[in-house]
Amino acid sequence: MKSRQLVAGNWKMNLTKQEAQSLLAEISGMMADEIHGNMPVVLFPSFPYLMMTATQLQSDPRLKTGAQNCSVEKSGAFTGEVSAEMLASCGVGYVLAGHSERRAYYGETDLIVAQKVLRILQAGMIPVFCCGESLDEREKGRHFETVQRQIEAVTAALNEEQYAKLVVAYEPVWAIGTGKTATAEQAGEMHSFIRGLLKMQFSQAADQTTILYGGSCNEKNAAELFRTSDVDGGLIGGASLQSRSFISIVKSLP
């Protein structure tokens, strides 16, 4: 039985090249000294640093390189876009799809997200599919409805073999970059709901799906969140830009 545990660090649009190099060196050094076991840890730097990241992390098989986005197109006249095949050729193993910021700021629809997930899989990488509700949707009691719609748009496009490679990240949008965090009870309730949805389509295979929590998880609340049923790790934002904070979160997994 494979382990469901995973921690990912999304650096978003931060750090100069020199700062990224230093952070990579700090994280890889702390991983070697302090982290035991084979749980994967994925770092998602900005596009210019992907090959540098893959090279710096290659000495530790637990450390993986992820990309924050990819195009729905395979190739062609799409200035400024980056294809899944390009990412795979640069040593990328994971790609985010449907992050709340992509949905909110760049108009990515459920259909676009599903297309990206398929492109990532076709290129031989692992999609980290993000889903989650806004503050308005939660306050109106529509959070389950929103997450179900987002999930079904993706899983309807996958066969069981493709689904087996999927990682899901639940992002309560109202808790990203706001300092707010879902309580362990709220996180556990949604994670259990997500696994239930997955089981409806993929039966027992859903028991092995990694479901990450991605809403202002930090070194102070990580341990409580990670002890919660069906929370298998975290998609970490701001705290992943500080090596000690990030490694503390990795060490919080039971």
In tens, the pLDDT along 166-200 reads 999 999 998 876 767 789 999 999 999 999 999 99
Q: How far apart are CA 8 and CA 21, in angstroms?
A: 17
Cα four-point dihedral sign 253, 69, 54, 74 = positive
195's tokens: 């696994």
> Does 169 fall in a domain?
yes
> Does 1 fall in a domain?
no
Is 171 catalytic? The answer is yes
* Other Cβ atoms within 10 Å of 4 Cβ, number: 17
* Other Cβ atoms within 10 Å of 18 Cβ, number: 8
Average pLDDT, the chain: 95
Number of domains observed in the structure of the chain: 1
- Domain span at residue 162? 6-251
Instruction: Look up tokens 């949805």; give the residue.
Output: 197
> Does 105 fall in a domain?
yes
Is 108 catalytic? The answer is no
Considering the candidates 143, 171, 191, 219, report the single residue annotated as catalytic. 171
Q: Which CATH number characterizes residue 58's domain?
A: 3.20.20.70
pLDDT digits (tens, 9 = 90+) for 213-230: 998 899 999 999 999 999
pLDDT by residue for the chain (254 residues), tens digit each?
358 999 999 999 999 999 999 999 999 999 999 999 899 999 999 999 999 999 999 999 999 999 999 999 999 999 999 999 999 999 999 999 999 999 999 999 999 999 999 999 999 999 999 999 998 999 999 999 999 999 999 999 999 999 999 999 999 998 876 767 789 999 999 999 999 999 999 998 999 999 999 988 999 999 999 999 999 999 999 999 999 999 999 999 99
What's residue 180's pLDDT?
73
What's residue 1's pLDDT?
38
Q: How far apart are CA 205 and CA 192, in angstroms?
A: 15
Q: Are 198 and 225 in contact (CB under 8 A)?
A: no
Helix 50-57 × helix 17-34 angle, to 10°: 20
> Does 208 fall in a domain?
yes
Q: Which residues contact 215 (CB under 8 A, 6 or more apart)?
A: 132, 170, 171, 172, 173, 174, 175, 176, 180, 181, 182, 187
> Does 139 fall in a domain?
yes
Considering the candidates 99, 108, 137, 143, report the single residue annotated as catalytic. 99
> Does 107 fall in a domain?
yes
What's residue 176's pLDDT?
77
Q: Return the bridge partners of 126, or none.
A: 94
Angle at 238 (CA atoms; ends 234, 240), nearest 5 degrees? 60
